[in-house]
Amino acid sequence: MNTKLIDSLVQIINSLTTEERINLEQKLHVQNLSPEIDQSNLQDEPFVGMWKEREDMEDSSQWVRQLRQQEWTS
């Protein structure tokens, strides 16, 4: 983490006027909003069902347990 940069940013933010802080908060809020996903067409996506014929994944919970066990004991 770049502590000098963070300290500089804190100093800059502390020097802002109330109006400037509100403007900054609004801009940050807009950037953090994630676009809504239209789930009505999700089933038409090519990745849906791509593993449906994999016999080793019939029980996905067991498959994940086995994968974790292999990774943790290796």
Residue 62 backbone dihedrals phi, psi, to 5 degrees: -65, -40
What is the per-residue pLDDT for 34?
A: 61
Amino acid at 4: K
What is the per-residue pLDDT across 41-58, written as a single tens digit (0 to 9) for each? Answer: 778 888 888 888 888 888
Considering the domain boundaries, does residue 64 fall inside one?
no
Domain contains 50: no
CB distance 55 to 49 below 8 Å: no
pLDDT of residue 37: 66
Let me know if residue 14 belongs to a domain: yes
Number of domains the chain contains: 1
Residue 68 included in any domain: no
Q: Which domain holds residue 22?
A: 3-32
Model confidence pLDDT, tens digit, residues 58-69:
888 898 999 899
What mean pLDDT is reported for the chain? 84
pTM over 0.75: no
Cα 17 to Cα 40: distance, rounded to the nearest angstrom = 45
* Max CA separation in the chain (angstroms): 62
The pLDDT value given to residue 44: 82
Entry field: residues in the chain = 74
Give the pLDDT score at 16. Answer: 93
Give domain status of residue 9, yes or no: yes
Q: Is residue 26 part of a domain?
A: yes
